[in-house]
Structure 1
Amino acid sequence: MDVIVLGGGLMGTAATFFLARRGLKVTLIERNRVGSGATIASFGNIRRTNRHLTQLPLAHRSRAIWGEAERLLGRDVEFRATGHLRLVFEEDALDDMRAYAQAARPWGLELAELGGNELRARFPGLGPGAIGASFSPHDGSGNPRLIAPAFAAAAAALGATIVEEAAVSAIERTPAGFRVTTAKGVFESDRLLNTAGAWGARIAARFGEPVPLSPRGPQMGVTEPLPHRILPVVGIWSREHGMDGYFRQVERGNIVFGGAAERVEVDLDPGHARADPARLPGQLKALVRLLPALADVSIIRTWSGCEGYMADMLPVMGVSSTTPGLFHAFGFSGSGFQVGPGVGDTMAELIATGGTEIPLHDFRIERFQNIGIKG
């Protein structure tokens, strides 16, 4: 076996697909079911707006893959390039939006600025008090329930082995590479890719690379169906705490929403994150500012999931600093859905060729070498 991939979320399944596409023999090991962790808890946002600037090359690569996903994977993963709209209500937030747009332009991201009147003319019913907005027309959304299984199935069709419900009990470095002992047997490979999400820090620590990661759960929800009128994903520019709500309307009419609620701490054993109905009123207060029609709808479901948040909100991505043949891609701090396919492609390129054109310097794991970490 050339590579073992640990973790069957979007990044792990995408990496498995792109590794298999490059002709490598790959086994993906997932402790539960493919796509059942942070991926399925995702909002489904495919946005580059307000992403850390050094992540933009990765985000651009990933956006190109999203556009080709149906052709690559042989199934519709409900990617829709409906645009990403972020509303502005305060002058300081308008300054922030303009500063980001200017800073992002050299990195290849063009954001259109809409005035309040243009916003209401193009997107009636949204943010009646907004003074402006940014608009990224080529971004949009995808279906978190479909994308990881689609990558896994396409990888299997290329010869990859997908092992689900296989909790890992031991990971060892051997003279030949790595040995992974699971509930479904022992697997060996030359190289090991850690895409275990919130559990990724535990794997890194086994190899002397502790990192400051906190497992947390966001709160997501979905409403009853409404008339389908809103095409873009909608968010906000704001410095006001607790107002960072966002939503999108699916083609069936339901409004999927998130944000505007503190992410709760999650115990990795067993790793279950639960939504708290008591936090819904605060969420809806923030969302009604963006879409007043939400004041009179019923919420039919809420959910959460276990995500890994880094202390500096930047992921760990690249080669191990201690162990040859070990690679990491985890800790995307609640914003990994859009970049997931690009992460998989970039890690496959790095593992197969020894290099990548995507700059990974800011994401290297050794940036934490001199930080004391408890636990």
Structure 2
Amino acid sequence: MTRNEAASDTLVIGGGVVGAALAWGLARAGERVTVLDDGDIVLRASRGNFGLVWVQSKGAKMFDYARWTRRSADLWPEFAATIGAETGLDLAYEKPGGIHFMLSETELEAARARNFAMKDVTGPDDYGAEIVDRHELDKIFPGLGPDVIGGSYGHHDGHVNPLKLLRGLHLAMEARGVRYVSNARVEHVSKDGAGFTAETAKGRFSAAKVVLAAGHGTTELAPALGLDMPLRPEKGQILVTERCATRLLPMPTHVLRQTDEGTVLIGDSHENTGYSTASYTPVLTDIARHALRCFPALAALKVVRSWGCVRVLSPDGCPVYHASETCPGAFAIACHSGVTLAAAHAMELADVIASGSFGDRFAAFHPRRFSHAQAH
């Protein structure tokens, strides 16, 4: 195994949206950063997600997560503009708000109760979700199906092209001098004197700090650094229509999103199938059927492709941020909402990691909460 002598302040393991956002943020903070990334054959949620920057319903069972999500949504306009200015790439980010359609009184009452419970969570900042009736929805979405009885409108919701986001982050990393090493699967990471060493097929890399941000790959690497990252896979499938020259959807919904290229993404399956990314017709049929109940005009569009992607979820679905106590300088970051939290990761979490310690700031995201839950 050869030793790579290029000096770095921090190794970031994982080059998806989470790792790339942190790497760019660390470089922005003045650090020398090396990103060690696996090949594109890995389970890369960054290339298979829906592209929502979503606030409503996030953190209903963990208010710190709700506040952190809202903080990221507030940072997104500046974040997108900064990445665009540094790379010349438009991320196709928009913040028109978002709608969660309700097809039954039970769903509507549950949403109303959730919005009421969440209205004061963000303190002086408005949670920004309100119930809208069918009459109001018809003004926003002409052509809704008869089964839609109302919805929840989130003022702070938006969407982005996730492929352009990932590309933009990598271009921005390069512009700031981040060293990106592809096809460098990390086989082992360890404490090495005052720093850390990661062993890969492309050599051995060392730095003063290390950040594990490799999605499901983080779970295997974490124990060697005194880190605990309990993660579980969940598959989601997506249908994609042909491009439509007209704007059918003025804003994203929780199951439908029209992209900047004109296609419509249709999704929202939640499947316990392990690490499988296979697409199955019965699930896709259910997805399509639900979409047509919401917006029958989609029946005129051809479906051109579909895919399955594996989400990165903790036991409670909320982020896990862990700073090692036995190996100071080692961090592990994992979350399902990598796109929504990209701005906060890049513009705030990276600065905290650069300082070398979380302190008490992210105590709510510590994995000890899972052992506490089991104890009770």
Report if the CA contact (8 A) 1:198-1:306 is conserved. no
1:341 to 2:343 alignment: yes
Aligned residue among 188, 196, 199 for 1:181? 199
1:301 to 2:308 alignment: no
1:24 to 2:31 alignment: yes
CA shift, 1:16, in A, is 0.7
| Per-residue CA distance 1:10-65 (angstroms, 9 max, x = gap) | 11111111111111111111112599811111100111010013212322232233
Report if the CA contact (8 A) 1:170-1:180 is conserved. yes
Distance 1:35 1:154 in 2: 23
Report if the CA contact (8 A) 1:320-1:327 is conserved. yes
Aligned residue among 198, 202, 227 for 2:216? 198
Report if the CA contact (8 A) 2:329-2:356 is conserved. no
1:98 maps to what in 2?
A: 112
Report if the CA contact (8 A) 1:115-1:131 is conserved. yes
1:59 to 2:69 alignment: yes
1:265 to 2:274 alignment: yes
Mean alpha-carbon deviation: is it higher for 1-10 or for 301-310? 301-310
Report if the CA contact (8 A) 1:62-1:339 is conserved. yes
| Per-residue CA distance 1:282-305 (angstroms, 9 max, x = gap) | 111111121112334321101122
2:3 maps to what in 1?
A: none
1:317 to 2:321 alignment: yes
Aligned residue among 101, 116, 123 for 1:87? 101
Aligned residue among 322, 327, 334 for 2:331? 327
SS in 2 for 1:300: strand
1:242 maps to what in 2?
A: none
Distance 1:247 1:85 in 2: 9
2:259 maps to what in 1?
A: 250
CA shift, 1:323, in A, is 2.3
2:4 maps to what in 1?
A: none
SS in 2 for 1:305: strand
Aligned residue among 203, 219, 232 for 1:214? 232
| Per-residue CA distance 1:92-114 (angstroms, 9 max, x = gap) | 22222122222222213111321
1:276 maps to what in 2?
A: 280
Report if the CA contact (8 A) 1:260-1:286 is conserved. no
SS in 2 for 1:219: strand
CA shift, 1:185, in A, is 1.7
Report if the CA contact (8 A) 2:225-2:330 is conserved. no
Give the TM-score normalised by structure 1: 0.87
Distance 1:174 1:356 in 2: 21
Go from structure 1 to structure 2 and tell me whether the alpha carbon gap of 1:280 and 1:112 turns closer, same or farther (over 3 Å shift): same
Report if the CA contact (8 A) 1:261-1:279 is conserved. no
**2:319 is aligned with what amino acid?**
P
1:42 to 2:67 alignment: no
Aligned residue among 55, 69, 74 for 2:79? 69
Tell me the percent identity: 28
Distance 1:209 1:19 in 2: 21
Distance 1:84 1:37 in 2: 25
Report if the CA contact (8 A) 1:27-1:163 is conserved. yes
Report if the CA contact (8 A) 2:22-2:349 is conserved. yes
SS in 2 for 1:295: helix
**2:20 is aligned with what amino acid?**
T
**2:180 is aligned with what amino acid?**
I
Distance 1:183 1:305 in 2: 26
Distance 1:46 1:31 in 2: 26
CA shift, 1:192, in A, is 0.7
Go from structure 1 to structure 2 and tell me whether the alpha carbon gap of 1:230 and 1:371 turns closer, same or farther (over 3 Å shift): closer
Mean alpha-carbon deviation: is it higher for 36-45 or for 86-95? 86-95
Go from structure 1 to structure 2 and tell me whether the alpha carbon gap of 1:36 and 1:287 turns closer, same or farther (over 3 Å shift): same
Mean alpha-carbon deviation: is it higher for 190-199 or for 351-360? 351-360
Give the TM-score normalised by structure 2: 0.87
Report if the CA contact (8 A) 2:226-2:326 is conserved. yes
Give RMSD over aligned pairs: 2.4
CA shift, 1:359, in A, is 4.5
Which consecutive unaligned segments of at least 5 residues does structure 2 have? 1-7
SS in 1 for 2:331: strand
SS in 2 for 1:42: coil
Moved over 4 A (4+): 33-36, 354-359, 369-372
Distance 1:150 1:40 in 2: 13
Mean alpha-carbon deviation: is it higher for 43-52 or for 170-179? 170-179
Report if the CA contact (8 A) 2:228-2:322 is conserved. no
SS in 2 for 1:147: helix
Distance 2:226 2:24 in 1: 29
2:251 maps to what in 1?
A: 232
